[in-house]
Amino acid sequence: MDTSKFAIPEIIFGHGAIKHVAQCALRLGARRVLVVSDHGLERAGWVEKLFDILAYDGLEWVYFNDVSQNPRDYQVHNGAEIYLEEKADVVIALGGGSPLDMAKGIATIAGNGGRIDDYEGANRIMRPLPPMIFVPSTAGSGSDISQFCIITDMQRQVKMSIISRSLVPNISIIDPDLLLTKPPELVVSSAIDALSHAIESYVSKLASPFTENQALNAIKIIITHLEPAVETRSVHHLEQLSIASTWAGMSFSNASLGAVHALAHSLGGVSDIPHGLVHPILLPAVMRYNMPECLEKMATIGNIILGPCIRSRQDLAAMGIDQLGEFFKSFGVPVHMREIAPDDSKLEHICRMALQDACMLTNPRDADWKDLLGICLEAW
Amino acid sequence: MPNMQTSLEDLIGIEHSKLGFFQELRHKLEEIKRSNQELEDQRREILAILDGITDLMMVLSEDLRIISVNHVFREMIPDPEPEGKYCYTIFRGEDHPCPECPAFRSLSSNSVCRATAIFKLSDRNMRFDMVASPLKNPDWPQHRVLIFKRDVTLEKEYQAKFYQAEKMATIGVLAAGVAHEVNNPLAAVVGFAEGIKRRLPQLERTIDGELYGDLKEYTDTILKECLRCRDIVKTLLTFSRHAPASLSLVALNSVVSDTLRLLQHELSKRSGIQIKMELEESLPVIKGNEAQLKQVVLNLLTNALDAIKDSGCITVRTFLERGARLCLEIRDTGCGIPPEHLDKLFEPFFTTKPVGKGIGIGLSTCYNIVHDHGGSIQVSSNSGQGSSFTVVLPLSEECALEESL
C-alpha cells in the first residue's frame, strides 16, 4: 500500500473526564440525547452519574439498555426507532464494546434508514450519522476509536462487520476511573482484547508507521501493567491499560485486524461467546501461522514479551508466542477452544464463514478455510 | 452476501470521510428554496387571478367584520382601512346587519347563497348582485364567509331600456294598424260631410233659417273634428313609420331657433314666461331629418309651456358632451313630473293633460324620432320644481373624427 490514512476522533482523557460529557453534547447541538448503556454500568452507578451530569446542564435524555453482550440486529432497529420517535439528536454510549457498537448501529439506522445488514461491509454508509459521544468503560474494545461496528445478524447467525469512517465517534471521553469498578475478569479479558488488537494490527497488511508505533506501545504497556493492575487495582496501572487500549484502537481502526478477529466474529455468530474469551485461545495459534510472512515483526513482538535477550529473529518470534500463551494462562483464562466451544462439529462452517470476514483481508498470510481449520484444531 | 467485494482500499477508504451534515443541510436548503420559489410562483398566480376578478370581493367573519378585501373594493369604497369594520357600517351606515344579507344564510346552510340589493355609494344608487360562500377551516377560531358583489346598475338600466324599446315597437305596430283601419272610414265620413256641406246652400231657401243654421254648424263641426282625427291618424302613422327619413346635414342651433319662431305667436300671449337661450356656438353639424327634429323640439317646448302655469322660465341649451355627443336640453320651472309617471312618459297615449287638450302621442313620437337618429332622451324632474329633458344625439362619424382631430 502506497497511501495510508490515519483518522481518530477527538479524545478527552483523564480521571473524572466523564464530567465533560454534557458540555460536549451541547457543543454538538444536543437538546435531547439517546443514552445507550447496559445493566453492568447501571449496577456500578455510572449510568446514574451520567444522568446527573446531563441534568446539571439541562439536557433531556432517553435511555436505551437492551444490549446483549454481542449486539443484535433487532436491538439496533428497536433503538433507532426509539431515537427517531423520541426526536433525540445526539447519541451518548457508556460501556464496553457492546453498548458502543449498539450505539453505532442505532446512529447508522437513524441517519440512513433501512436495515442494519444493508450496511455490512466497507463504506456503504452514504448519509451522515447523528453526533456520537462514547465513554468506554473496559479499556479493550477500541470501539470508541475505531471505524468498525460489529452487529450479529440473528437470521444468518453471523457477526457482521460494518466499516465506515462515519462510524468513528465525534468525541471519545476516556476516564480510567470507570475501570475501578470493573471485576478483575473483565479487566483481564478487555486487556487481552486490546493486546489482540495491537498485535493483529501491527502485522496487518495495512500497518503504517502511524499505526505501528501505537501498536507496539500498546503491547508493551499491557504486558507490563496487566499483572500489577489485576493484583493491586491501583489507579496508575488501570490508567496505563486505558492508554494502551486507546493506542491499540488507534492502530486497528486504521490498519485493521487479522484472522483472530475473523474467526472470533464467526465463532461469536454461531454461539454467543463473550468476545474477550476468544483471543487468549486463538491469538498464539494465529501468530504461529502468520509467522513465516512477518518474521521480523513477530520477532519485535517477541522481544517485547521476552524482555531483553539475545536470540535469532526466528527464536525471538517463536519463543515470544510461547511466552504469550504462558502469560494468558497465568490469568486463569481458558486457553483451549474446547473449553468455550460447544463441540467441533461446526468448526468447518465457522472457518468458511470467517473467510468472508473483512478482517481476513489484512491478515499477513493468506489462508483458505482448511488453514483456518488447522489453526482451530491447534487451539482445540 | 453484500460484503464480498471488500478490498484493502476499502478499508483505507481514502475517498471516504466521516460524513457531516453540511452537505445534507445544503441539500435541504436548496430543497426549501425550490419549494419556496414554487409557493411564491403559486402565490403570484393566485394573486393575479384574484386581481383579474372585477367583482367587489371581501372575506367576512361570522359577525360580518371585514377581514380582507380586494382591489375593486378599494377602488369603489373610499374607506382607506375597511379591515375590522362591519360590512353593514360601510355599505349602509347601519349598526345592525341588513335583513336580506345572504352571509348568514350561506353559513347556516353551508352553501352558496345569492341576493340582490341596492346600496347608495358616493351618492349614487347602485345595484349589486351578491354571492356569499361559506369558508370553513377547522384551524380557524370561527367560520368566515366570502362575499362577491357585482355592480349590475348599468346592466339593469340597459335591461329596462331594452324592455321599453321593445314595448314601444310593439305599440307602434299596433298604432299603425289602428290608424290604417280608421283612415278609410274617416275618408268616407269626410267625403259625405263635404257632400252635405256642398248641398246645404240648396236648402237655405226651403227650410227654416234656424234649422239651416244648426245643420251648417253640425256639418262644420263634423268636418273640423274629422280633420282633427285625420291629423291624429297621420301622427300615428308617422310615429309608427320605420322607413328611414331622408337625412341631411342639420345644424341643431338653427333647428332650435326656427322652432322658436313658430311659437312666437303663442309666446306673445304669455308674458309671464321667460325664454333663456344658452346655445353653444360652432357646434358640429349632425346628420338628421330637419323636419322630424323640429317636431321634437316643438313637442318639448310645448310641453314645457304647458307645465308652466302663469310665470316661469324655460332654458334651452345646446352643448357638446364628451366630444362625441350633441345635447339639447330644455329645462322648465314648471309643475314637474311625479315620480310614478316618469316610467310611462314615452308610452303612446299616456297623458296628464285634460281630455281634448292632448292625446299623449307627442313624447312617444319624440322618442321614436330621436331613437331613429341613434340618440336618446333623458328626463329628470322634481315634482313642483320643474323638469329637464335632454336629447342626446350622436355625431356622425366624420364629425366625430374631425372633432377628435
C-alpha cell at B108: 347556516
Q: Would you say residue B43 lies in a domain?
A: no
Write the CATH number for B128: 3.30.450.20
Of B246 and B190, more confident: B190
Q: Where are the beta strands (DSSP E) in A30-144?
A: 32-36, 60-64, 90-95, 121-122, 132-136
Among B168-182, B233-247, B319-333, the range with the most confident prediction by mean pLDDT is B319-333
For range A341-353, the mean pLDDT: 84
pLDDT for A347 beyond 50: yes
Question: pLDDT, tens digit, for every residue of A161-218?
Answer: 899 999 999 999 999 999 888 888 888 989 999 999 999 999 999 999 999 999 999 9
End-to-end CA distance of chain B: 92
Of the listed ranges A118-122, A270-274, A327-331, B51-55, the one predicted with least confidence: A270-274
Burial of A316 (0-12, 13-18, 19+ CB in 10 A): buried
In 3D space, the residue among B113, B69, B62 whose CA is nearest the CA of residue B91 turns out to be B69
d(CA A38, CA B220): 138
Q: How many domains does chain B have?
A: 3
CATH of the domain at B329: 3.30.565.10
Region B300-326 average pLDDT: 85
What average pLDDT does the segment A8-19 reach?
A: 93
Nearest chain B residue to A158, by CA: B1
Nearest to B24 among A3, A128, A356 (CB): A128
Residue B234 or A360, more confident: A360
For chain A, how big is the Rg over CA atoms in Å?
20
Give yes or no: residues B316 and B382 share one domain: yes
Domain encompassing residue B207: 159-240
pLDDT range class, residue B28, cuts 50, 70, 90: confident
Contact residues, chain B, for A118 at CB < 8 Å = 2
Same domain, B271 and B235: no
A 70-99 residues with CB < 8 A to B: none
Strand ranges of the sheet holding B113-121, from the earlier edge strand across to the other edge: B66-69, B56-61, B144-151, B124-135, B113-121
Indicate the pLDDT class of residue A324, thresholds 50, 70 and 90: very high
Percent of the residues in chain B that have a pLDDT greater than 90, as a whole number: 13
Cα torsion angle, A257, A258, A261, A265, sign: positive
Interface test with A, best of B18, B21, B27 (most A CBs within 10 A): B18
Name the DSSP letter for residue A356. T
**In this structure, are B236 and B257 located in the same domain?**
no
One domain for residues B117 and B197: no
- Same domain flag for B309 and B259: yes
In a domain, B13, yes or no: no
B117 and B211 in a single domain? The answer is no
Q: At B403, is the pLDDT very low, low, confident or very high (cuts 50, 70, 90)?
A: very low
For residues B174 and B296, state if they share a domain. no
Residue B34 lies in a domain: no
Q: What's the rounded Cα separation, in Å, for the pair A229 and A240? A: 9
Q: Which residue has the cell 337625412?
A: B247
pLDDT digits (tens, 9 = 90+) for B348-392: 667 777 665 666 667 877 888 888 888 888 888 888 888 999 999
Whole-number pLDDT of residue A325 = 93
Crossing angle for the helix pair B290-307 and B362-372, nearest 10 degrees? 140
Asked if residue B190 is part of any domain, the answer here is yes
Taking only the tens place, the pLDDT of each residue in B175-230 is: 777 877 888 888 889 889 999 999 888 888 888 888 888 888 999 889 888 887 88
Mean pLDDT score, A359-366: 93
**Residue A72 has what DSSP assignment?**
B
Separation between Cα atoms, residue A58 and residue B153, nearest integer Å:
69
Question: A258-294 burial, b for 16+ CB within 10 Å, e for fewer?
Answer: bbbbbbbbbbbbbeebbbbbbbbbbbbbbbbbbbeeb
Longest dimension (CA), chain B: 159
What is the average pLDDT across B153-174?
76
Is the pLDDT confidence value at B238 over 70?
Answer: no
φ, ψ at B79 (rounded to 5°): -55, 120
B233 pLDDT higher than 80: no
Nearest to A165 among B3, B13, B23 (CB): B13
Least Cα separation, residue B16 to chain A (angstroms): 7
- Which chain B residues contact residue A128 at CB under 8 A? 19-21, 23-24
pTM of the model: 0.59
Residues B289 and B228 in one domain: no
Q: Residue B405 pLDDT > 50, yes or no?
A: no
Which tens digits make up the pLDDT trace of A48-93?
Answer: 999 999 999 999 999 999 999 889 999 999 999 999 999 999 999 9
Q: What is the DSSP string of A172-195?
A: EEE-GGGGGGS-HHHHHHHHHHHH
Q: In what order do the strands lie in the sheet with A60-64?
A: A10-13, A171-174, A132-136, A90-95, A32-36, A60-64
B163 and B287 co-located in one domain: no
Render pLDDT for B34-45 as a digit per residue (tens, 0 to 9).
999 999 999 999
ipTM entry: 0.75
Q: Is residue B33 part of a domain?
A: no
Same domain, B271 and B233: no
User: How many Å apart are CA B132 and CA B141, to the nearest integer?
Assistant: 20
**Average pLDDT value for chain B:** 83
Residues in chain A with CB shorter than 8 Å from the CB of B1 are 120, 356
Return the HEC string of chain B.
Answer: CCCCCCCHHHHHCCCCCCCCHHHHHHHHHHHHHHHHHHHHHHHHHHHHHHHHCCCEEEEEECCCEEEEECHHHHHHCCCCCCCCCEHHHHHHCCCCCCCCCHHHHHHHHCCCEEEEEEEEECCEEEEEEEEEEEECCCCCCCCEEEEEEEECHHHHHHHHHHHHHHHHHHHHHHHHHHHHHHHHHHHHHHHHHHHHHHHHHHHCCCCCHHHHHHHHHHHHHHHHHHHHHHHHHHHHHHHHCCCCCCCEEECHHHHHHHHHHHHHHHHHHCCCEEEEEEECCCCCCEEECHHHHHHHHHHHHHHHHHHCCCCEEEEEEEEEECCCEEEEEEEECCCCCCHHHHCCCCCCCCCCCCCCCCCCCHHHHHHHHHHHCCCEEEEEEECCCEEEEEEEEECCHHHHHHHHC
Residues B390 and B265 in one domain: yes
Contact A122 B1 (CB under 8 A): no
Task: Classify residue B129 by burial, with Cβ atoms within 10 Å: 0-12, 13-18, 19+.
Answer: middle
Domain assignment present for residue B261? The answer is: yes
Whether B404 has a pLDDT exceeding 80, the answer reads no
Question: How far, rounded to the nearest angstrom, does the alpha carbon of residue B63 sit from its chain's CA centroid?
Answer: 36
